């Protein structure tokens, strides 16, 4: 569990499963697991009166208002963010991730130089096999990097920090851990270097430029996943805002901050959908990065588009308003990472210019 919301007023709630004839004293708490797409509500028992009462007396003791609220909570326990699509254990959040990764797989393989055997006039199955292995190695490394960036750059609640071990941080849960997308950006070049030299035996820099557009494409789907989950949202806007439904991260965070009120978190205030804006920008970057590689063979093509993304990310952070994010000197962690990219690009450009004049 990562964080919780607790009401100040206790209430009585019928316990139908474990003790159907006992009236218990509870306070409401909202918990979120590391899989933030599946919030659950838990009632923490504070006191159990030392008496039992007959089933026929329940409705005389529990006020009708609380009965209706309890029924609402029981229904909300079964809800994910609406609309929700579930395939097995996959929620809408992970469904978008899966779609992006699978489409990225097809694009990664199709972008290989020798995907088509001209002599046999058929698809080179060996190339497909090796490229597929390389792709999923890259995906695992980038997901791991995004998880590590969560532990390094996000604000982790104290009670979660107390439970963390070094094994939790080093060997993260690839699916369950919250992700910082900048981690995938930073880990993509070394992942490409590993697979290009150890598996495919190709020039690493050219291979990175050839496959760079796939990173931005998958990150675009990751932002669509954020929109489906209601996280990574923007500031309040009455005219351009989207209100996320009950069960979303935005709904719970707004209630935690006192912006909305209710027995259970109601729909969020209207907020700017920065997730959709980010997704559109990432898809544009993916397209133009792909087209630029077809037209020119610049050795720094991928890094140019990472620089463009860093500019956009630095600016859009000013209208982000999601909770529990790390800030230093009024700048978010993502903005500091953007500034790091600016510095690295400036140093790289200076070195490149020095070599050009040598």
Per-residue pLDDT of 333-357, as tens digits, reads: 999 999 999 998 888 776 766 665 5
Q: Does the N-terminal peptide bond of residue 294 adopt cis geometry, omega within 30 degrees of 0?
A: no
Q: Are residues 57 and 133 in the same domain?
A: no
Averaged pLDDT, 152-165: 79
Q: Are residues 17 and 49 in the same domain?
A: yes
Averaged pLDDT, 282-309: 91
Report yes or no on 142 lying in a domain: yes
Q: Are residues 34 and 68 in the same domain?
A: yes
Q: How confident is the model at residue 15 (pLDDT cuts 50, 70, 90)?
A: very low
CB count in 10 Å sphere of residue 188 = 24
For residue 213, pLDDT over 60 is answered with: yes
Report yes or no on 32 lying in a domain: yes
The domain total for the chain is 2
Q: Does the N-terminal peptide bond of residue 163 adopt cis geometry, omega within 30 degrees of 0?
A: no
Report yes or no on 245 lying in a domain: no
Which of residues 268 and 8 earns the better pLDDT score?
268
**Model pLDDT for residues 302-340, shown as the tens digit of each residue:** 999 999 999 999 999 999 988 777 888 889 999 999 999
Q: Are residues 134 and 220 in the same domain?
A: yes
Report yes or no on 297 lying in a domain: yes
Report yes or no on 249 lying in a domain: no
For residue 66, the Cα-to-chain-centroid distance in whole angstroms is 35
Nearest to 226 by CA among 170, 181, 177, 284: 181
For residue 94, the model assigns a pLDDT of 85
Is the pTM for the entire model greater than 0.85?
no
For residue 139, the Cα-to-chain-centroid distance in whole angstroms is 15
């Amino acid at each position: 569990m990562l964080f919780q919301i607790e009401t100040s007023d206790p209430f009585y709630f019928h316990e139908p499963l474990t003790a159907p004839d006992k009236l218990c004293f509870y306070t409401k708490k909202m918990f979120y697991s590391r899989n933030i797409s599946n919030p659950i509500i838990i009632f923490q028992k504070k006191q159990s009166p030392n008496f039992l009462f007959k089933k026929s007396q329940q409705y005389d003791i529990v006020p009708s208002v609380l009965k209706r609220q309890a029924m609402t909570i029981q229904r909300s326990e079964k809800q994910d963010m609406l609309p929700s699509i579930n395939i097995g254990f996959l929620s809408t959040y992970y469904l978008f991730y899966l779609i992006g990764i699978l489409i990225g797989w097809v694009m990664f393989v199709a972008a290989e130089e020798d995907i088509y055997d001209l002599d046999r006039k058929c698809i080179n199955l060996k190339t497909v096999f090796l490229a597929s292995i390389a792709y999923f190695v890259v995906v695992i490394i980038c997901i791991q990097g995004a998880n590590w960036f969560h532990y390094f750059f996000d604000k982790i609640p104290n009670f979660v920090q107390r439970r963390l071990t070094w094994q939790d941080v080093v060997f993260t849960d690839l699916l369950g851990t919250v992700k910082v997308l900048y981690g995938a950006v930073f880990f993509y070049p070394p992942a490409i270097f590993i697979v290009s030299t150890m598996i495919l035996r190709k020039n690493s820099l050219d291979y990175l430029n050839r496959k760079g557009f796939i990173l931005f494409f998958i990150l675009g789907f990751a932002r669509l996943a954020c929109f489906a989950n209601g996280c990574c949202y923007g500031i309040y806007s009455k005219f351009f805002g989207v209100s996320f439904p009950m069960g979303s991260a935005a709904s719970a965070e707004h209630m935690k901050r006192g912006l909305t009120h209710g027995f259970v978190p109601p729909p969020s205030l209207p907020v700017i959908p920065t997730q959709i804006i980010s997704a559109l920008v990432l898809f544009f970057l993916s397209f133009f990065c792909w087209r630029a590689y077809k037209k020119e063979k610049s050795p720094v093509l991928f890094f140019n588009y990472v620089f463009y993304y860093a500019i956009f990310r630095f600016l859009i952070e000013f209208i982000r308003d999601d909770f529990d994010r790390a800030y230093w000197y009024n700048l978010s962690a993502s903005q500091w990472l953007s500034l790091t990219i600016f510095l690295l690009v400036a140093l790289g450009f200076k070195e490149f210019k020095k070599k050009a004049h040598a």
